[in-house]
Amino acid sequence: MLIGVDFDNTIVCYDGLFHRVAVEQRLIPPEIPASKGQVRDYLRQCGKEDAWTQMQGYVYGDRMKEADPFPGVLEFFTRCVRDGVNVCIVSHKTRYPYLGPKYDLHEAAQGWLKSQGFYDPDRINLSPDQVYFELTKQEKLERIAKKQCTHFIDDLPEFLGESGFPAGVERILFDPQNHHLTGHPFRYASSWSEIEALILC
């Protein structure tokens, strides 16, 4: 068994951080719900697509250290490593933002993983060579195939449904907001405790 896991919006929850930054920058009224999707939709409706794009680079770069892990994800990785279940992180992540300052997004993500104890022998103890940040979606698909993942967990149904998705991998859609309850052929979980029950129990 080798469980592959996406990074952004699967391991890392950005809802509170995006809302906080958007309010700081006076791009949204404070009463907009504290959800990354709600912030994005509001800015797009206001014709502020470039502001949204630049904010993503800022959040994934300079403010990355403030992002939260989803509840239960650290415990899931800890159990996998403790019980000898192979697990890896495979993410599509550009090196630098499309707009704005050239933050190194890979370095920021690695710093976040370190700060959350992923590489700490006394905490999760995941090996750094089991973490892959790929520059393109195609490279992400190729990495999943090359690693021979038996399972893959992702928050994007469109990625799990890619025609080039490696055959034989059990795909699990992580959907904490219950946006995609129907219309897809994947196994489904709205929390990391559900994922743990699906795979490890």
Residues 143 and 194 both lie in one domain = yes
Residues 115 and 40 both lie in one domain = no
Residues 80 and 156 both lie in one domain = yes
> Closest by alpha carbon to 73, among 13, 128, 127, 132?
13
Q: What is the pLDDT of residues 80-132, one digit of tens each?
A: 999 999 999 999 999 999 888 999 999 999 999 999 999 999 999 999 999 99
Quick check: 29 pLDDT over 90? Answer: yes
Cα 105 from Cα 95, distance rounded (Å): 5
Q: pLDDT class for 145, splitting at 50, 70, 90?
A: very high
Residues 49 and 136 both lie in one domain = no
Task: Give the structural domain span for 55.
Answer: 15-65
Residues 55 and 152 both lie in one domain = no
Tokens of 29: 């009224």
Cα 95 from Cα 116, distance rounded (Å): 21
> Closest by alpha carbon to 186, among 201, 164, 166, 169?
169
Please give the pLDDT value at position 178.
81
Please give the pLDDT value at position 138.
97
The crossing angle, in degrees rounded to 10, of helices 36-45 and 15-24 is 40
Cα 75 from Cα 101, distance rounded (Å): 34
Residues 81 and 56 both lie in one domain = no
Tokens of 86: 């192979």
Residues 137 and 157 both lie in one domain = yes
Q: What is the pLDDT of residues 51-86, one digit of tens each?
A: 999 999 999 999 999 999 999 999 999 999 999 999
The total domain count for the chain is 2
Q: How far is CA 36 from the centre of its chain?
A: 12
Quick check: 185 pLDDT over 90? Answer: no
Residues 123 and 158 both lie in one domain = yes
Cα 198 from Cα 172, distance rounded (Å): 9
The mean of the pLDDT values for the chain is 95
Residues 111 and 174 both lie in one domain = yes
Tokens of 200: 């490890």
Counting runs of H as helices and runs of E as strands, what totals does the chain give? 8, 8
* 185 vs 175: which has the higher pLDDT: 175
Q: How many residues does the chain have?
A: 201
> Closest by alpha carbon to 77, among 129, 113, 112?
113
Quick check: 177 pLDDT over 90? Answer: no
